[in-house]
Structure 1
Amino acid sequence: MLIIHEFGQNNAKTIVMFHPLGVWWDIFEYVIPILEKDYHLIVPAIPGHDPDRPESDYTSMQEITDEMTDFLTDNCSGHVDCLYGCSMGGGLVIKLLAEGKIKTGLAIIDAGMTPYQLPKPITYLIGIRDFLMTMMGKYASIKMLGSVFDPEKYSQEDLLYVKKVLNSLSARTIWKGFYEANNYTLPEDIVRPDCRIQYWYGDEEKDARGWDMEFVKKTFANVEFVENTGQNHAEFFTLHPEEFCLRIDELLM
């Protein structure tokens, strides 16, 4: 079951924000205080990534989108102004768009994960690799974690946050989360929404996102690709919160 956090409930325009895999919902802590002044924010805590429910495990992309569809249907009449998701969260936006049960005026897929188009044995091997690498991070020292993060971008406090979150993830959440979020399914009859769709990516991750961008272009022909200079994966809302919020404002004008 999703725990859903809401901010700025009295504001007219609604933004749904899905966080990436491997972090808590509070990764949006830098942008929430800015956006809640003008928008109604809906931020679900993905199971297995909720500090208030440490016993929970990751469920599935389908269960998450089903629960969000029910929530948004009951509380927002099935319509929001913006669906935003980063990484795994971007995959959730793709899935909601493809299912077509929730209407939105704007969809932002920030470096969104798309399903591997590979034979199943290969996807399992990739899943095992991702699991082992994440488990290594879970038990790594702060010094070792620091070796894989840019010290000019991330502080010691940031590394402590990463370590705290990794320590909270169960082995089941790590395996199922990474495997399932890379191999989720879309409906056979994909809805082609007429809303504005943007796919954001950092210029430092362009090569890594090539596969995903190709998939999104095939799925949603009207998608616009937006490159963010000087950024890598999931850095816009964490390292450039004011610019991130200004971009949202401009798109929702």
Structure 2
Amino acid sequence: MELKKLTLQDTSIAYIDSGSGKPIVLLHGFCGSSRYWEHVIPALSADYRVIAPDLPGHGQSDPLKGNTTIENIADQVKSLLDTLNVPIVTMFGHSLGGYITLAFAEKYSGQLNGYSLIHSTSFPDSEEAKKGRLANIEKVNQSGIYSLIDGLVPKLFSPENQDENYVGEAMEIGYTTSAEGAIDALNAMKDRPKRNHVLEASTLPVLLIAGEQDQIIPSDKTFSVSKDNIKQSLIKDSGHMSMYENPMDLISEIQNFLSNIKL
């Protein structure tokens, strides 16, 4: 899959743009990149146009200039879509990408025909989690990005999947995150607000996906709102990384969701 680049407001952003048809957007998680979706994009791009950016400071994208917030990243995603002349999309956000998807849905709901949180939550960080973000910022400042990735990535996978080759793949992707990008994202996640009200008020189709063995965001934190327009799905044999641990079930859930959306 070819990685393309363009410049938005003096900031370079890298992205995959694969397939044709109705557009969908895939937003990766913290210390990931568009490569997180390598096992998902081929199946989806057979029927849809798949746009998957590297988030700021991740992969081959530059960090944002100035203060980085979840809302600012959502603004950059909108700028990317506007530059690509894509007026309406279905958005899927993994973890950090889910926080950005909710911010996008709050600010730009008219540009969505549906959206999904994958191993993500509408709740803000707890006080304990905020302390963990600050500790990780200190780790990056003191020891660099490799130290952070070495401690973080194994926790993303279920205990049963620790020896799989894809854990190493995720670590290699994590190492491409810039120190500035990781710190910016940690601060943005730490300071993000509660957004249950976005799910509660939304009339769009919504898909909430949780991992049965997710050690980062348990299913009760993902399944925070129950409404007729919100589908809840639990991926078996998966921790926080179903795009690696159980991609076939993830693809099936995404395809079924898309098939019921008026695209």
TM-score by length of 1: 0.76
Percent identity reads 15
1:181 aligns with 2:189: yes
1:230 aligns with 2:241: no
Match of 1:83 in 2: 91
Q: What is the distance in 2 between the residues matched to 1:103 and 1:217?
A: 22
SS in 2 for 1:27: helix
Change (3 A) 1:130 1:205: same
The C-alpha deviation readout for 1:43-98, integer Å capped at 9, x for no partner, is 11112112x35xx3364322221122233345455312x21011001111111111
Q: What is the distance in 1 between the residues matched to 2:35 and 2:71?
A: 23
2:169 to 148, 156, 161: 161
TM-score by length of 2: 0.74
Aligned residues: 241
Q: What is the distance in 2 between the residues matched to 1:18 and 1:40?
A: 14
8 A contact 2:211–2:218 mirrored in 1:
no
Match of 2:5 in 1: none
Match of 1:250 in 2: 256
Change (3 A) 1:157 1:132: farther
Larger displacement relative to structure 2 (194-203 or 57-66): 57-66
The C-alpha deviation readout for 1:89-140, integer Å capped at 9, x for no partner, is 1111111111134432321101224453657xx6652322333567687238
The C-alpha deviation readout for 1:167-210, integer Å capped at 9, x for no partner, is 333333222212212422479x9693311112111121288436
1:104 aligns with 2:112: yes
1:72 to 69, 81, 84: 81
> 1:121-136 alignment to 2 at 5 Å?
124-131=130-137
Match of 1:239 in 2: 245
SS in 1 for 2:213: helix
Gaps of 5+ in 1: none
Match of 1:7 in 2: 18
Q: What is the distance in 1 between the residues matched to 2:166 and 2:134?
A: 27
Matching residue's letter, 2:238:
Q
8 A contact 1:95–1:186 mirrored in 2:
no
SS in 1 for 2:225: helix
Computed over aligned residues only, the root mean square deviation of the Cα atoms, in angstroms, reads 3.7
Matching residue's letter, 2:248:
E
